[in-house]
Structure 1
């Protein structure tokens, strides 16, 4: 069984078990601007797990498309940053005008990731790729390309397990091995991470923070992993489009040709509607 077949099988088996996804945090979506808000110290009491939220249906108004990164920041590099622990992931972003973020999970996959990168480059936009270490290890050239073209590479664990069923040491291994591969690919460790299946727990937040990463979930789930057809994926993105939205898509883990075709259709529509598709800036000092 190859990697994407194995990942698809795990996803189908566990999808029901982690239906907590959007429902678990329907009322906890966070906005972040500038200095992304007060951190929670590791001594604070635990909070319930969090994951994606329902799409924001806010009315859309025209605005000029600009390429600058949004005004959000990732972790401050240095010893102090490693002591900051959050209770929930960021679900939304905010910046100038109508900013949105596109994210792609589970890759990189040489069959689909290059097409997604080409489409993003054709439209001069940036995105976030949350990669799995076992995929990244064999495709470091794609990680270098992502970095060279201005995209953000995030940590999506090594083999896409359900973190809430792992020990702390296993969670650390999943995250740390993937950080190492990303650093080997282009010389920088990731500043963002995302829990597989949107299933977070306190250990994941603590270990992610210790490794210098901020947690990011999503606002709009395209459900492209179910292979519903490109038009269905496109409709979900367009219907959910709103300022601050984070869109979840995939570039691996199965047949992602529908995801590529949908991106080809919805990306120009978003830009023509005045959305600015970009990525969070990271504060490095």
Structure 2
């Protein structure tokens, strides 16, 4: 009996000691995990929203019930320890810089996919309003995305160069703002987008034209497909103050200031009519939205976009 009691006491002491050791190591363990995850981002091991898994084979467990592949972000690993396929970069030569957005029309992007807000300007460049827009963006140290009409880019190449020189992202907005472009034949769409890109590149030969925005947001599957094959992400929006209706600077600013949220893409215009109201609205939008959210351009070309302020290493094969 005495031996049993001794063993019981020893077991009890061991259990108490184990609980104490466990309690004393919880916080350090959590801190260690946090440190590992933090370092993982800098090493490119953390989940990256800009990388998608290759489509699984038909009938595989990762396929959906309808046979469509599950499009989930996956961790980027220098070396795989299992039989899963390597993650394929979304960016890179002939690849758009952002993946499709399942919530956007025909997969066009409706959000930045991150916490920052993206201001986008359509229909330019314009010799009156584009310089004013650039000056205000420069004053508040904000980068934006400019969706350029081919005819205007050819007419005002010096403004295209000014946009690129300030570090803004370039976007193709069709040759002459054809609302029905997406409903036309594949060759017509391709020729229109290529002609527009050529006009932009004539002004900035080393430019990266990373996005296509369909005039009026009249998206079609054909337009999105052609843009993707040309290495451009189709770019929609989430906040639209309808500044093209000339509602006045106060209305434009109020809509954007109230509607801005993490990941929002804001639709504005620096050409296509009298845009002084939009320019004046920026005097309110830039400081007000900028105080609440980061304001930045969408990632350009094949450059790996930043994640939480940390520059991730490039994927294999990227240049």
Structures share a fold, TM > 0.5?
A: yes
1:114 matched to which residue of 2? 131
> Per-residue deviation at 1:75?
3.8
Candidates 160, 170, 173, aligned match of 1:156: 173
Deviations 1:177-235 (A, max 9, x none): 01111111111241111111111112111211221111110000110000001100001
Does structure 2 conserve the Cα–Cα contact (< 8 Å) formed by 1:85 and 1:209? Answer: no
Q: How far apart, CA to CA, are the structure 2 residues paired with 1:164 and 1:218?
A: 17
Q: Which has the larger radius of gyration?
A: 2
Map of 2:277 onto structure 1:
258
Choose which of 215, 218, 222 in structure 2 pairs with 1:203. 222
Deviations 1:131-154 (A, max 9, x none): 000111011111111111110010
Q: 1:35 aligns with which of 50, 53, 56?
A: 50
What aligned pairs does 1:12-51 form with structure 2 within 5 A after superposition?
Answer: 34-35=49-50, 37=52
CA distance in 2, matches of 1:116, 1:135: 16
- One of 187, 190, 194 as aligned partner of 1:172: 190
Contact 1:152 1:279 in 2 (8 A): yes
RMSD between aligned residues? 2.6
Distance in 2 separating the partners of 1:33 and 1:116: 33
Select which of 234, 240, 244 maps to 1:215: 234
Indicate which of 221, 231, 240 corresponds to 2:259. Answer: 240
SS at match of 2:124: coil
Equivalent in the alignment of 1:184: 202
Does the alignment pair 1:269 with 2:288? yes
Name the structure 2 match of 1:7.
none
SS in 1 for 2:272: coil
1:175 and 1:38, CA in 2 relative to 1: closer, same or farther beyond 3 A?
farther
Q: Distance in 2 between matches of 1:224 and 1:203?
A: 28
2:84 equivalent in structure 1: none
SS of the residue 1:154 aligns to: strand
Correspondence for 1:142 among 159, 167, 173: 159
1:103 aligns with 2:114: no
Give the drift of 1:33: 5.8
Judge conservation of contact 2:217–2:236 (CA < 8 Å) in 1: yes
Greater mean alpha carbon deviation, residues 169-178 or residues 149-158: 169-178
Q: What is the number of equivalent residue pairs in this alignment?
A: 219
Query: How far apart are the structure 2 equivalents of 1:107 and 1:146?
Result: 10
The 1-side partners of 2:256 and 2:219 are apart by 24
Distance between the aligned counterparts of 1:176 and 1:216, measured in 2?
17
Structure 2 gaps, min length 5: 1-46, 56-65, 67-88, 101-105, 304-317
CA distance in structure 2 between the aligned counterparts of 1:102 and 1:108, rounded to whole angstroms: 15
Contact 2:49 2:113 in 1 (8 A): no
Instruction: Tell which has more relative contact order, 1 or 2 (C-alpha 8 A, sep 6+).
Output: 1
